Structure 1
Amino acid sequence: MMSDYESVYAQWQAGPETFWEEQAEAIDWMKPADKIFDAEAGVYGRWFAGAECNTCANAVDRHVEAGHGDRLAIIYDSPITGTKSQITYSELLKQVNALACVLSDKGVTKGDRVVLYMPMIPQTAIAMLACARLGAIHSVVFGGFAAKELATRINDAKPKMVIAASCGLEPSRIVEYKPLLDKAIEMADTPPETCVIFQRPQAEASMVEGRDIDWADAVSAAEGRTVEPTAVAATDPLYVLYTSGTTGQPKGVIRDNGGHMVALEWTMKNFYGIDPGDVLFTASDFGWVVGHSYIVYGPLLRGATTIIFEGKPVGTPDPGVFWRIVEEYGVKAIFTAPTAFRAIRQQDPEGEFIKKYDLSSFQTLFLAGERADPETIKWAERQLNVPVIDHWWQTETGWVMCGNPAGLGLLPVKYGSPTKPMPGYDIQILTDEGEPVTEPNVLGNVVVKLPLPPGALPTLWNADQRFRDAYLEEYPGYYKTADAGKIDEDGYLFVMARTDDIINVAGHRLSTGAMEEVLAEHPDVAEAAVIGIADPMKGQVPLGFVVLSNGVDRPESELEKEIVAMVRDRIGAVAAFRQLVCVKRLPKTRSGKILRATMQKIADKEDSPVPATIDDPAILEEVSAVLERRGFLSRPLEAKE
């Protein structure tokens, strides 16, 4: 017998358009599609061509109209401030309407861009929905992003308006946003006409007369007014989300309205197993795609309850904060990055904080955003006694490409693999020359056969040719994921590393991810990273970094011997793994991705600007100091192969 997953995937394979047409029945359309898929439209075709819809109406209005207005839509919990609040679907509709009226009064209409520079507060979700209601295109930029980076995004999006908060909060500091916004607008070639500022009590922003308006005053004046949801084409952009570009110029990933809703609604039920009224706790940030898809749009389209969390997995106040949230709000599933669990594991290796809370509502833990090492997954399984689901996707796709679908019945777990492709994704492995890899377990380039499914990016903002060059050119007929991996004999995908994290050791292509798995198996290691550094004989050799678990105090040389032996035993002498350094922290982006490329540039004494997405620049200085102490910054370098 086929599993539910196998039968659903086979159904999609047999007729992709019929499959997505059926899934689209879960969405309220203002006008049905003329074509489910128009192969002649756009760069590689467009889904639901000719259809009209409104994302805000589907995420909010329809639940109220169906009699579910008293259901909780948003739970806000800020352990940093001690603030908690709850918003029902009816109340959310009122607040979205009021803000939409403010935007409309200031001339924001269908197709206009609005940049949001906001922290993890309910007002950010309300602003996103208000833009969607008017058919305006929102672009969320991390609150606290440097002025230069914000100006770059303002220049690219050319927004009519910026919506910002006065400040954001970190566990140890207040980050004032308004001075950064003012500086960015000074630097921008195309400044916005209006700024709406949400004043937070922790830092009051000064206002620019004639340009800035106070959120609270404007929304209060608009209270009770309504604006009808604007009909937009299914193919019109809902938002633009900027992701780092290799040229330094950010790439504006476009998400459309129609396909996006269909895909997210499908995943909420079939992948995450979330039903209307269930509570989903996605511990991410609005500035990342996960925050768009699974803090705001996915849960609200489903009629579920979403948690907006302003805090950290550790330190606000302790590594038990996630479990307090689960108990307090009856959370069914958590979705976060593996790095969050590595931080919890490092601070609470025996799970003592987990035992303090009633987790009876908790059914599933989902991890994504970076590679989930098997040791972290096994630790979470032991401590939580629930399925731990690693799944793989990208900003560009907007939803899960490969994973273990809780809603369709879980498949057997293979550690190190996010399991199997979801409907919509024909994932293949190609050689560097673009030839199909037909043998199982052979490392190559992970690609997706075109067309991409509903919800995936149709192109980049005002940059069709850049989209082709970056994603479609190298392997004609395929979308290049820029990940390296393999598919085993059972069809399980193993994503081993970004293609630039494959190192060449004396002609052997080796995955740093595979080595990291071995390092993470050591009982004293909480977190690990491996990079390739230049070597005059072998071209590149691996260098390992480890963060030790709390309470571990051992000589670095002793640990190095043990881990070198483990890598030699698991991967072989070909890996040439002989060097290890201990660090207190690993440098990461704000989404939890380890900055391996930046670490490699430091180790190889190459000039490297500090990435705009870095969480704490001081950690790079710590890493540099450790490398200098160990002599890595004084070695002779040769060109890499």
Structure 2
Amino acid sequence: MSQETLSNLLHENRRFEPPADLAANANVKADAYDEAERDYVAFWEKAAERLTWETKWDRALDWDDPPFAKWYVGGTLNAAYNCVDRHVENGNGDRVAYHWIGEPEGDSRDITYAELKDIVCQAANALTDLGVKKGDRVAIYMPMIPETVVAMLACARLGAPHTVVFGGFSSTALRDRVQDCDARIVITADGGYRRGAPAALKPAVDEALESCPDVRNVLVVRRTGQDLGEGGWTDVRDVWWHDAVDGASKDHTPEAFDSEHPLYVMYTSGTTGKPKGILHTTAGYLVGCAWTHWAVFDLKDDDVFWTAADIGWVTGHSYIVYGPLANGTTSVMYEGTPDTPHKGRWWEIIQDYKITLLYCAPTVIRTFMKWGADIPQKFDLSTLRIIGSVGEPINPEAYIWYRETIGGGRTPVVDTWWQTETGMHMISPLPGVTAGKPGSAMKALPGVSAVVVDDEGNAVKPGSGGYLVITEPWPAMLRTIWGDDERYRETYWSRFEGMYFAGDGAKLDEDGDIWLLGRVDDVMNVSGHRLSTTEIESALVSHPSVAEAAVVGANDADTGQAVNAFVILRESALTDGEPEEGIVDELRNHVSKEIGPIAKPKAILVVAELPKTRSGKIMRRLLRDIAEKREVGDVTTLADSTVMDKIKEGIAAGSDED
């Protein structure tokens, strides 16, 4: 698609109406909005009937003690049974659950539901042999391999809440999460493959566990065959997966757990710097992600679904594992990166596996745009019928390119808004019902009450902006922050009375459609990953050369936001008043080691002072002005109103920037 065509489509302010054939056969019809509006609790009761229950609930919603909700009270079920066993019992054991594709050429596996059931049962028996019981927490630090899904389902089968830690995080991040949820078992691999080479994981686990003496076993998948090196194996504690799992019995009877039994804890960044353990429970979460997966993607029995994300994030939990498996879907799971071994890898996978539903982040779409339309045009993408966007608002240019170049100009785009905390899609077009509008998430899904409000919590009129809030409970909502009910109240329910607010700004256009404006606090959204400015500042200051640091998220064409840091160096890191050579690269790598590569600052500016108020608060909005190269805003509240001029002069004089 030419730039001229793209510009014309943007200037037309297009609405893309649902294709007639899709609308005629859509899973969800337009009257679902009215049905949910009349009685949203009854709506979610009907959705829950899509699962298999050991005991049906007595009461659909207990909202007697807000903000602590309970859904399907009195009901019992098992998440793993709903994701695997029941499909086998219903005669679908031969259906492929996952087409797994490793990064090395030719490395692939097809796993049927019957095979998945057997492996999950074996893993559950192996974990039982290691002493795992109902309520025990298990940390999973794995690459994108089938055993990651198996580990999650085995935990769910036993009623042992799992906490999956993204494999790109550092040993420090893993340590903090293991300690916070008091995990006693860690499941990992020797490594995974990334950009054509093996990347080790086990050494990071060993380093993390130096501060976690209560972890009694590490279950290790042999993925790359790397030499673990001297000290890389601890007898008694460390156990090979193939030794423990492969020989275990394939017979295992799952126990039905209470609807509110904890399913998993997922950590997300917080404004205090300490990650928040988001608790999701079993029934409501499974209902929410299964129904939204079925509805938003208009799922059919013959679909092949691909969420191009990592299982370490909530997108992977809800739309690689629990949603698709609860629906008996055939999914694709890919270990590698979009450009390994070549930049057409994704499109080759879609062509080879005849994928019909694709779900990915705007960040990668913008990368593909940069690489050029000629690459995907070499492949047959005609099987795609719905394409989705996740992780951050998709800008109109990327939306149009995605729809026209990847979707062939015929494929609806579902631009989904949701969060780790919500557990499921909250705002999205329904492809057979609502139109698509480039850049807009459109409207809340049936059964979800999303409103844009002003500073006083009053709903705004079309054409106005404000804060996005949820005014009624929903099944997949987080139940609390692990071990900290008060922080849960303060973080999500204190800004507007009786309303959930997690920090996103939004506006209503004249049609009443919702546009997300991004974060209104100091949590950045980098490539769909929420990172805390405080956490990165803490990592920078932990370096012996740094006296003080301030971090902001600046708009970035590729990643949505980019990490920009301003640092004051200690005298020991200065030579004749100038920064030591290589200090910026050293600091960037330090942040990567402390938190993970995704937190590595795109730019670090060495400054002599930071803009502060008289009370000592750093005025990050002014630093954001600098990072985004625009006119600096009001400086009247600064203790020293000349400091911004000094910063600009320092930059102009050649302060080091990556």
TM-score (norm 2): 0.77
1:158 aligns with 2:182: yes
1:599 aligns with 2:620: no
Q: How does 1:70-81 map to 2 (within 5 A)?
A: 70-80=94-104
CA deviation after TM superposition for structure 1 residue 603, in Å: 12
Does the CA-based 8 Å contact 1:338-1:368 persist in structure 2? yes
Aligned to 2:78: 54
Q: How does 1:604-619 map to 2 (within 5 A)?
A: 610=591, 614-615=596-597
Name the SS of the counterpart of 2:468 in structure 1.
strand
What amino acid maps onto 2:218 in structure 1?
Answer: C
CA deviation after TM superposition for structure 1 residue 355, in Å: 2.2
Aligned to 1:494: 515
Aligned to 1:237: 262
Of 607-616 and 380-389, deviating more is 607-616
**C-alpha spacing 1:619/1:43, structure 2 compared with 1 (3 Å):** closer
Q: How does 1:318-467 map to 2 (within 5 A)?
A: 318-348=342-372, 351-384=373-406, 385=408, 386-406=411-431, 409-432=432-455, 434-451=456-473, 453-467=474-488
Q: 1:624 & 1:64 partners in 2: Cα distance? A: 60
Aligned to 2:243: 217
Q: 2:307 & 2:222 partners in 1: Cα distance? A: 25
Q: 1:5 & 1:419 partners in 2: Cα distance? A: 16
Of 40-49 and 209-218, deviating more is 40-49
CA deviation after TM superposition for structure 1 residue 252, in Å: 0.7
Aligned to 1:252: 277
Aligned to 2:14: none
Q: 2:595 & 2:523 partners in 1: Cα distance? A: 22
Q: 2:155 & 2:186 partners in 1: Cα distance? A: 11
Name the SS of the counterpart of 2:332 in structure 1.
strand
Q: How does 1:475-490 map to 2 (within 5 A)?
A: 475-490=496-511
1:199 aligns with 2:222: yes
What amino acid maps onto 1:167 in structure 2?
Answer: G
CA deviation after TM superposition for structure 1 residue 7, in Å: 1.7
Name the SS of the counterpart of 1:403 in structure 2.
coil
Does the CA-based 8 Å contact 1:239-1:255 persist in structure 2? yes
Q: How does 1:82-161 map to 2 (within 5 A)?
A: 82-161=106-185
CA deviation after TM superposition for structure 1 residue 38, in Å: 1.2
- Deviation string 1:421-454 (CA, Å, 9 cap, x unpaired) is 012321112222x231432221211111032x10
Name the SS of the counterpart of 2:91 in structure 1.
coil
CA deviation after TM superposition for structure 1 residue 76, in Å: 0.7
Q: 2:388 & 2:606 partners in 1: Cα distance? A: 33
What amino acid maps onto 2:561 in structure 1?
Answer: I
- Deviation string 1:377-433 (CA, Å, 9 cap, x unpaired) is 111122132222211111111111111112xx142222221111012321112222x
Does the CA-based 8 Å contact 1:154-1:191 persist in structure 2? no
Q: 1:435 & 1:484 partners in 2: Cα distance? A: 13
Aligned to 1:539: none
Q: 1:40 & 1:147 partners in 2: Cα distance? A: 41
Does the CA-based 8 Å contact 2:141-2:167 persist in structure 1? yes
Q: Which runs of 5+ in 2 are unaligned?
A: 1-17, 525-551, 571-583, 608-625, 633-642, 649-658
CA deviation after TM superposition for structure 1 residue 291, in Å: 0.4
Name the SS of the counterpart of 1:47 in structure 2.
strand
**C-alpha spacing 1:234/1:618, structure 2 compared with 1 (3 Å):** closer
Q: 2:96 & 2:123 partners in 1: Cα distance? A: 20
CA deviation after TM superposition for structure 1 residue 256, in Å: 1.1
**C-alpha spacing 1:237/1:617, structure 2 compared with 1 (3 Å):** closer
Name the SS of the counterpart of 2:309 in structure 1.
coil
Does the CA-based 8 Å contact 1:137-1:240 persist in structure 2? yes
- Deviation string 1:171-190 (CA, Å, 9 cap, x unpaired) is 054321111111111123x5
CA deviation after TM superposition for structure 1 residue 110, in Å: 1.0
CA deviation after TM superposition for structure 1 residue 301, in Å: 0.6
Q: 1:412 & 1:71 partners in 2: Cα distance? A: 33
Name the SS of the counterpart of 2:597 in structure 1.
coil
Name the SS of the counterpart of 1:255 in structure 2.
strand
Q: 1:405 & 1:231 partners in 2: Cα distance? A: 33
Name the SS of the counterpart of 2:223 in structure 1.
coil
**C-alpha spacing 1:617/1:397, structure 2 compared with 1 (3 Å):** closer
- Deviation string 1:48-83 (CA, Å, 9 cap, x unpaired) is 011100000000000000011000001111234541
CA deviation after TM superposition for structure 1 residue 460, in Å: 1.4
Aligned to 2:495: 474
TM-score (norm 1): 0.79
CA deviation after TM superposition for structure 1 residue 544, in Å: 7.5
What amino acid maps onto 1:636 in structure 2?
Answer: K
Does the CA-based 8 Å contact 2:57-2:72 persist in structure 1? yes
Q: How many residues matched?
A: 545
Name the SS of the counterpart of 1:485 in structure 2.
strand
2:294 corresponds, among 256, 266, 269, to 269
Does the CA-based 8 Å contact 1:115-1:138 persist in structure 2? yes
What amino acid maps onto 1:47 in structure 2?
Answer: W
1:175 corresponds, among 199, 206, 214, to 199
Q: 1:294 & 1:220 partners in 2: Cα distance? A: 27
Q: Which runs of 5+ in 1 are unaligned?
A: 504-541, 548-585
Of 261-270 and 366-375, deviating more is 261-270
Does the CA-based 8 Å contact 1:110-1:230 persist in structure 2? no
Identical columns (%)? 35
Aligned to 2:535: none
Name the SS of the counterpart of 1:268 in structure 2.
helix
Does the CA-based 8 Å contact 1:144-1:176 persist in structure 2? no
What amino acid maps onto 1:95 in structure 2?
Answer: I
Does the CA-based 8 Å contact 1:270-1:405 persist in structure 2? yes
Q: What is the root-mean-square deviation in Å for CA atoms of aligned residues?
A: 3.2
Q: 2:291 & 2:45 partners in 1: Cα distance? A: 12
Does the CA-based 8 Å contact 1:80-1:310 persist in structure 2? no
1:302 aligns with 2:327: yes
CA deviation after TM superposition for structure 1 residue 43, in Å: 3.6
**C-alpha spacing 1:604/1:345, structure 2 compared with 1 (3 Å):** farther
Aligned to 1:636: 646
**C-alpha spacing 1:602/1:303, structure 2 compared with 1 (3 Å):** farther
Does the CA-based 8 Å contact 1:72-1:277 persist in structure 2? no
Q: 2:218 & 2:375 partners in 1: Cα distance? A: 43
What amino acid maps onto 1:94 in structure 2?
Answer: D
- Deviation string 1:439-475 (CA, Å, 9 cap, x unpaired) is 2221211111032x10111111111111000000111
Does the CA-based 8 Å contact 2:103-2:196 persist in structure 1? no
Does the CA-based 8 Å contact 2:350-2:381 persist in structure 1? yes
Does the CA-based 8 Å contact 1:428-1:436 persist in structure 2? no
